[in-house]
Amino acid sequence: MELSEAVITALITGGLALIGVWLTNRKSTEMLFAKLDKQSELSDAKLDTEIRVVKTQIDELTREVRKHNNFAERVPVMEEQIKVANHRIEDLERRVD
């Protein structure tokens, strides 16, 4: 059983075409993965930046809340002191009359 030149040529051409398609597909896949890795790195960098911004905002809010809490703790004390001062003023006004 002898293969004709046409069959041999077709087999060689088909084999080379198959190798070409395989190599092209492999290269495309490598390029796609490289692009995905780059996008992932960019996304990670963006997330890191956003996390730093949020942490900074949280720190600032924490500082403001502490400042407010300190003020909120002092207000009742000031109210009591004002009440005492008003009583003393009233007592002094009664003595003068």
The pLDDT tens digits for 24-38 are: 999 999 999 999 988
Q: What is the pTM of this model?
A: 0.48
Residue 1 pLDDT > 70: no
Phi, psi at 84, each rounded to 5°: -65, -45
The pLDDT tens digits for 45-85 are: 899 999 999 999 999 999 999 888 887 788 888 999 999 99
